[in-house]
Structure 1
Amino acid sequence: VPEFVKEKRFANWLRDAHDWAVSRNRYWGTPIPIWVSEDLEEVVCVGSIDELEELSGVRVTDIHRENVDDITIPSRLGKGVLRRIPEVFDCWFESGAMPYAQLHYPFENKKEFEDGFPADFIAEGIDQTRGWFYTLLVLSTSLFGKPPFKNLIVNGLVLARYLMGTKMSKRKKNYPDPIEIITQYGADALRLYLINSPVVRAENLRFQANGVKDVLKDVFLPWYNAYRFLIQNIIRLEKEEGIVFSYKDEDLGSSSNIMDQWILSSMQSLVLFVKQEMQGYRLYTVVPKLVKFVDLLTNWYVRSNRRRLKGEGGLDDCLKALQTLFNVILTITKTMAPFTPFLTEHMYQNLKRIVPGLKSVDSVHYNMMSQPVESLISVKIEKAVSRMQSVIELARVIRDRKTMPTKYPLPEVVIIHKDPEYLDDVVSLSRYVTEELNVRSVTTSSDKDKYGVSLRAEPDHVVLGKRLKGDFKSVMSGIRQLTNDQVEQYLSSGSIQVLGHDLVAGDLRVIFQFEKENSKYEAHSDNDVLILLDVTPDQSMLDEGVAREVINRIQKLRKKAKLVPTDDVTVFYNAMGSDKYLCNVIMAHGEYISNNIKSPLKPYPVPVCDIIIKESTQLKGSELEITLVKGHEHVTNGPLCRFLNIQLRSNGANITGCGEKTGVVLLENPVQSNHITLEQLHEQAKVLFGQRGRTLKIYTNQDLTTGKMN
């Protein structure tokens, strides 16, 4: 494994193999046990220490040259004495004898040898096709007529990153210190980086420390965050509902939620795949699937079911979602244990407390590998969700292309496909399409002409230019003249002929164009399904997007303060901008923001209380200051604001002494209550502006700007 080493590299070496000179003219090594007469006519090959003692009368236990070179054997043919030849064995001969030498076979351990020979598998680098693999096979075939192993796993070589991938060298110091890599990123990250690299396909790898970092960032952190999210919501369930979560296998598969069914099916399909591939010693196919599943778990299942897992869909639905996620986290922990032993052990020690049957199993590595529960596998559901994912990913490409973040709602996504089953699958999951793409509606159709979409083709200049050379210009012109129907035929069949040249998948770039230049849609396709996204949001959608930006800023501040979902906080805000747009959006969407952050949202001023964290940020041309304080109820000893700026204005009547006078009123009453009443405020304003005996009306700045004063 892989197959090409067996069929090509190793097979070619065996086919062209030369005679093997097993002797070496060196001092250090295993002496060749051959004694000869001076004329080389009499030859004795000694098979054991006992036989040497019997022939020579000398007993030795250390058979290196310094102990055996002086031993002589009397000649049976009257040729005097026989002396050992001076050569030693080629060291590869000793390596090839490993299966027998390690057990001192045939002198001892005969049964142990026969029970373990041939070995289930061996593993070494690809450079050993001419070394250990070959010598093992030669000696085993000579002695027993069969190979010494049933399976052989070949790995490539880990090379230095620079200097064209040269061999790592202590002298050149062209590689990072492994201890520093492990200290910085962990042994599991290094381990997974190597076994998810070309090395396990018998190809060479230019080692890059950034690759280890990426494993930590792209695999371990999302996976660990999903595990932590599970634990946090189990704790939340106990705190809010008074229920101690307990995992039960018999409850598995009882959920009617299609995403629960999908992730369980995907998990069991993965377990089945891992079992089959590991039995075939195809390590290079296993780890990419495991890494891909972590992405499906974290970026699809957990992301699309966060509200359910937090209990927002009701207690029963929350328990089913938690049971599902717990099973998947536990199963992937067991499945990944051979590849990431330390991280999985850490997770397992917490998870096993919730499963009665696992409390006595001390380590994840004491568990047998998970066996697939094939009754939970549904190919139909996996296909439906895969189609939904394709739709979402294609639409996200359009958003990225138009620099429209997902936080901002869009009116509509149109999914065009000729297969009704495909469209039915997407419709059954339209709720998730709506949430993930943040669109108001999902429309399906099998008629792209209805939306004024046509296809045209462009050549891939790099691919075709290199292949067609002088014919490229004429073929390029022919490609650009292809009709919509011809391009559709190319997409369905995967090939087309242009000016006598066969063009296949990858030779052409298919471009979608609209008949109307001012179409509200943007298009993207994977040559299977066509996605149209309405990219013309109205003002209400833009406002909602800003509100989502505010939510994002608050949640990031909570994370920065290392708060957990169960921490009670109140959020105070101050939106400072000349046009008041941000302030108006927050006020209009206050309930929406509060529901999403699960905390009260209040405008400044901040009361005298325990402030957790404060931060200012820029948003839509305004400065937004956010303050998080402990608790939900805040009782103060005085008003939220101690002073009030007031201004005396005339409504048109001739009031003596009235100009544009301003003043400050103290809102605290140090004699009686902690704050003054509205009637006392009137009296203080009259005194301040010398208007005793007159009736004054009090308006806020907002009343003035909206015209309520008139």
Structure 2
Amino acid sequence: WVFKQLYDKGLVYRGVKVMPFSTACNTPLSNFESHQNYKDVQDPSVVVTFPLDEDASVSLVAWTTTPWTLPSNLALCVNPELQYVKLRGKYTATEKIYILMESRLIALYKSDSEYEILDRQVHKLLFPGIALKGKKYKPLFEYFIQCKDKGAFAVVVDSYVKEEEGTGVVHQAPYFGADDYRVCMDFNIIQKDSVPVCPVDASGCFTAEVTDFAGQYVKDADKNIIKLLKEKGRLVHSSSFKHSYPFCWRSDTPLIYKAVPSWFVRVEHMVEKLLENNAQCYWVPDFVREKRFGNWLKDARDWAISRNRYWGTPIPLWVSDDFEEVVCIGSIAELEELSGVKVTDLHRESIDHLTIPSRCGKGLLHRVPEVFDCWFESGSMPYAQVHYPFENKKELEDAFPADFIAEGIDQTRGWFYTLLVLSTALFGRPPFKNVIVNGLVLASDGQKMSKRKKNYPDPMSIVNSYGADALRLYLINSPVVRAENLRFKEEGVRDILKDVFLPWYNAYRFLVQNVQILQHKDEGREFLYNENTVKESNNIMDKWILSFTQSLIQFFKAEMAAYRLYTVVPRLVKFVDILTNWYVRMNRRRLKGENGTEDCIMALETLFSVLFSMCRLMAPYTPFITELMYQNLKTLIDPASVQEKNTESIHYLMLPQVREDLIDRKIESAVSCLQSVIELGRVIRDRKTIPVKYPLKEVVVIHQDPEALENIRSLEKYILEELNVRQVTLSTNKDKYGVQLRAEPDHMVLGKRLKGAFKLVMAAIKELKSEQLEEFQETGTIVVEGHELHGEDLRLMYTFDQIAGGSVQFEAHSDAQVLVLLDVTPDQSMVDEGVAREVINRVQKLRKKRNLVPTDEITVYYRSHPEGDYLDTVIKEHMDFIFATIKAALKPYPVPTSKEVLIQETTQLKGSELEITLVRGGLCQCVGPACAYVNLKVCVNGTEQDGVLLLENPKGDNTLNFTGLVDAVSCIFGLKNSKLTVFNGKT
């Protein structure tokens, strides 16, 4: 039906055209098919002579990478406007004079000393190509010498001859090149009714007309042709040439270009309509519409839809022997009516024998032997799949054009193209509204994946090793979703498992473990999450992660509605890092209940809410791990809060709705500043190889925005903990510390824009003073050497001058907004604490190695050798600190024989041998709640009295500042009118 519509519109015709031809499949290919499989290959490169009839000592020299086309040469083409020259090679016979393009002398000679340009005035040796038009020359071979009487073997002109390659003289074999065919038609070297000079059969072998090479495959004949040309004295130069060449996408064999009779659909006349319809479609990424696909449409050519194969859908054309009478069939009923035969099968073997009586007295009409290009069937898919218009007419009209399709970037010359051509020709409309284009997945070396080469890992092995979700997320978080190619690497899938799934799963497991610990500690309390009854948390980190999650949901919905997977998935992956390495890390103690039960529940509810939202957002991309987590998480949801009808699977749930009331941009900005400070500080530690376990004295944070500093001040305790420093100093006075601004130019952006002035501007940028850059920081523009630069051109960096700052103990690092100075001066007490943290780290690693959980009661025994050394002293001095951290008793050897040893390990630390043993069960000692002592000195009527006050906070209530403490003590002890002096201490 589709083909009949095109035929009735006058869009189908039969013609001879130079087409990409597959000698392996014995069939022509369409233009877009030939562009699907290009490879870099080495082909023979030859330069041959064509002596002029008027003077055999003067020869035109032409270059080609297809020597097999030389037996079919009928003309030579030069550029009419470019300059040509006559010269004599110094190492050739004196009578040999060559003509070639002046700018292409390099094609024959490496230096000026190898040739001699004859006297320009006498011989007029420099001339435009048009001067050569019409000159006759001696053919290389005489297989088609009869064509000389019809104008062959003459020089023609056309501007398609360029000066970028070759000699500027292009040999013309009109039935083996599209440009050759066009040019030779323009100059009447050939006519439409000419007998084609095409001595190559469907298998790519020379026919009997080429007597010297008959039966030889053309590519194999290249060597023999070159040999014969050398014997004839017509070969000037022979070498090999690497270039990109089209291969058959089916057989993976080299294509040739060959004139063949084919059936065509007219496309060139509707290019403007194709571009108009393309503009109505929403493409992701959008550059495909304007660039890749749009450019292809602008140069669209008539579509050769016939193929010379047995297998395929028969073209429904019945023709007379002279092709003057053509009948196009549009339905089974029409074929039955015209042939008088019942039709039950439309394959070739069932209809090729059917004939239709001629209405013009031409006997019987027979079906043409060709079948459809399979892309014609693909492009007909919207109508063919519903048997339109014979059935489901309303269904198609309601559903057309399609809301959404997706395919690879190669389909811009395949399915996308044929869909658009047929839809435009039939209905004048685009066939789809929205389309996502993906890139191609290549082998790790950048080549196409090939079953023959086995240059890719077994997909099932990947899935079995890393899981389907890891493979899915690796692909969907790759350049492929931006219509770029991906070099597939197994380690990339492994990294997704390591960097995304394991941290994410550990956060989920951490939640579940601490819910169990909470319920174990507080028997009778059941943790059930109900978003309708959750109390609003006062903790700034809770507020931040909830706000960050809602911002993510908001972003997710907007970007998914715009089909931009390439922005959504990286943000989701980044969120896993934010959740695990920031929120969970900085709230571990709260989540473990160390700050009291109520605060623990608040933190657990926050983490549950975030993980539950995260699972629903990730479910479309990682369906299996999210289902696993959900099946456990849903047991912690209060049934009273469930609104969905079916909660059996996470894939039945709706995506979370955005809660605008939880979004707080100010808190998100504050935590972003905090993260910058911590990350910059970590870089300094890494640079100085100072582990975070070792405390440092001070970090100085310099920022020009006082509000940003206030945000950082509100989160100061997290900086103290994460950077393990004793003091945080905030300042806007960068001069005090010898801080200067420096500009870092974007070389790529400025290089393209400034071109020749680039080096001059770069030098001037280096000389810009801090005051100038501060002004640029405020205004966003600066003029350098007459060129106006903007924010995207320069990145401002802070630099630190130790001498100017007068503080050699600081190390500095900065980004575009904030500068961090870290005091790296060694301090023995801090080093000792760092060693104690190393001991803690060894114990915790043993716990993990033995698969112990936090609720497992253990006692830790240790032995340092030699006894009484530095390590032994540090452990004894920091016994309370170690005990408070590992939540287990720490005892020196020996280990009681009655104890069950869980794990034992000997390690080296600070030059000493440290042996650690974990045994089951804790010591029989009562561990009280967190407490501290305050010394009181009460002065009443001039009389002083000392006392000690024990402070406890067993439930994790809000802590008091000193002013509140003084007020509380005064109230409790009736000291309202007394003067209290408070000193804090350990005893």
TM-score, L = length of structure 2? 0.61
Corresponding residue of 2:699: 413
Asked if 1:284 corresponds to 2:572, the answer is no
Mapped contact 2:743–2:794 kept (Cα < 8 A): no
Mapped contact 2:738–2:800 kept (Cα < 8 A): no
1:336 Cα shift?
0.2
Matches within 5 A, 1:498-509: 505=793
Cα 1:152–1:594 shift into 2, 3 Å: same
Corresponding residue of 2:918: 628
The code of the aligned residue for 2:864 comes to A
What per-residue deviation string (whole Å, max 9, x for no partner) do you get for residues 481-507 of structure 1? 543323544555666555567777458
1:10 Cα shift?
0.6
Mapped contact 1:569–1:631 kept (Cα < 8 A): yes
Corresponding residue of 2:800: 512
CA distance in 1, matches of 2:322, 2:903: 96
Mapped contact 2:544–2:671 kept (Cα < 8 A): yes
Corresponding residue of 1:567: 856
Corresponding residue of 2:169: none
The code of the aligned residue for 1:370 comes to P
Partner secondary structure for residue 154 of structure 1: strand
- Structure 1 window deviating more from structure 2 (203-212 vs 478-487): it is 478-487
Corresponding residue of 1:186: 467
Corresponding residue of 1:4: 287
What per-residue deviation string (whole Å, max 9, x for no partner) do you get for residues 111-160 of structure 1? 33233222111111111101110100111112222111111110111111
Corresponding residue of 1:619: 909
Cα 1:564–1:10 shift into 2, 3 Å: same
Matches within 5 A, 1:345-424: 345-355=627-637, 356=639, 357=642, 361-424=647-710
Partner secondary structure for residue 250 of structure 1: coil
CA distance in 2, matches of 1:198, 1:376: 33
CA distance in 1, matches of 2:499, 2:918: 31
Mapped contact 2:616–2:650 kept (Cα < 8 A): yes
1:43 Cα shift?
2.7
Cα 1:472–1:93 shift into 2, 3 Å: closer
Asked if 1:201 corresponds to 2:490, the answer is no
The code of the aligned residue for 2:728 comes to V
Corresponding residue of 1:521: 810
The code of the aligned residue for 1:412 comes to E
Greater helix share, structure number: 1
Cα 1:403–1:251 shift into 2, 3 Å: farther
Equivalent of 2:603, from 318, 321, 345? 321
The code of the aligned residue for 2:582 comes to W
CA distance in 2, matches of 1:261, 1:471: 51
- Structure 1 window deviating more from structure 2 (149-158 vs 444-453): it is 444-453
1:465 Cα shift?
10
Cα 1:166–1:576 shift into 2, 3 Å: same
1:634 Cα shift?
7.4
CA distance in 1, matches of 2:796, 2:845: 44
What per-residue deviation string (whole Å, max 9, x for no partner) do you get for residues 171-191 of structure 1? 222212212111111111111
Equivalent of 1:544, from 833, 837, 854? 833
- Structure 1 window deviating more from structure 2 (18-27 vs 545-554): it is 18-27
Corresponding residue of 1:216: 497
Partner secondary structure for residue 801 of structure 2: strand
CA distance in 2, matches of 1:60, 1:253: 75
Mapped contact 1:460–1:509 kept (Cα < 8 A): no
Asked if 1:92 corresponds to 2:375, the answer is yes
Mapped contact 1:189–1:215 kept (Cα < 8 A): yes
CA distance in 2, matches of 1:203, 1:295: 25
Question: How many matched pairs?
Answer: 633
Corresponding residue of 2:457: 176
The code of the aligned residue for 1:167 comes to K
1:536 Cα shift?
1.9
Matches within 5 A, 1:654-669: none
Corresponding residue of 2:543: 261
TM-score, L = length of structure 1? 0.84
The code of the aligned residue for 2:907 comes to T
The 4+ residue runs of structure 1 with deviation greater than 4 A are 455-482, 489-510
CA distance in 1, matches of 2:867, 2:756: 63
CA distance in 2, matches of 1:69, 1:234: 75
Corresponding residue of 1:160: 443
Corresponding residue of 1:436: 722
Equivalent of 1:150, from 430, 433, 442? 433
Asked if 1:250 corresponds to 2:536, the answer is no
Asked if 1:449 corresponds to 2:735, the answer is yes
Mapped contact 1:253–1:376 kept (Cα < 8 A): no
Cα 1:461–1:267 shift into 2, 3 Å: closer
Mapped contact 1:607–1:634 kept (Cα < 8 A): no
Corresponding residue of 2:423: 140
1:60 Cα shift?
2.0
Greater strand share, structure number: 2
Asked if 1:25 corresponds to 2:327, the answer is no
Mapped contact 1:570–1:631 kept (Cα < 8 A): yes
Structure 2: runs of 5+ lacking an equivalent: 1-283, 926-987
1:511 Cα shift?
2.9
Partner secondary structure for residue 658 of structure 2: coil
Partner secondary structure for residue 497 of structure 2: helix
1:105 Cα shift?
1.6
CA distance in 1, matches of 2:762, 2:330: 76
Mapped contact 1:590–1:601 kept (Cα < 8 A): yes
Mapped contact 1:491–1:527 kept (Cα < 8 A): no
CA distance in 1, matches of 2:340, 2:849: 83
Percent identity, aligned pairs only, is 67
Mapped contact 2:737–2:806 kept (Cα < 8 A): no
Higher RCO (CA 8 Å, separation ≥ 6 residues): 2
CA distance in 2, matches of 1:52, 1:92: 24
Mapped contact 2:797–2:815 kept (Cα < 8 A): no
1:351 Cα shift?
0.7
The code of the aligned residue for 1:419 comes to D
1:39 Cα shift?
4.1
Cα 1:244–1:253 shift into 2, 3 Å: closer
Mapped contact 1:458–1:511 kept (Cα < 8 A): no
Corresponding residue of 2:387: 104
Corresponding residue of 1:665: none
Asked if 1:231 corresponds to 2:512, the answer is yes
Partner secondary structure for residue 251 of structure 1: coil
Corresponding residue of 2:592: 310
What per-residue deviation string (whole Å, max 9, x for no partner) do you get for residues 407-461 of structure 1? 1111121111121111111111111111111111222111112233345678899
Q: Which has the larger radius of gyration?
A: 2
Cα 1:516–1:447 shift into 2, 3 Å: closer
The code of the aligned residue for 1:605 comes to P
Partner secondary structure for residue 817 of structure 2: coil
Mapped contact 1:253–1:261 kept (Cα < 8 A): no
CA distance in 1, matches of 2:329, 2:584: 70
1:342 Cα shift?
1.0
Equivalent of 2:319, from 36, 55, 75? 36
Corresponding residue of 1:294: 576
- Structure 1 window deviating more from structure 2 (61-70 vs 481-490): it is 481-490
Equivalent of 2:348, from 49, 56, 65? 65
CA distance in 2, matches of 1:467, 1:278: 35
> For the aligned residues, what is the CA RMSD?
2.6
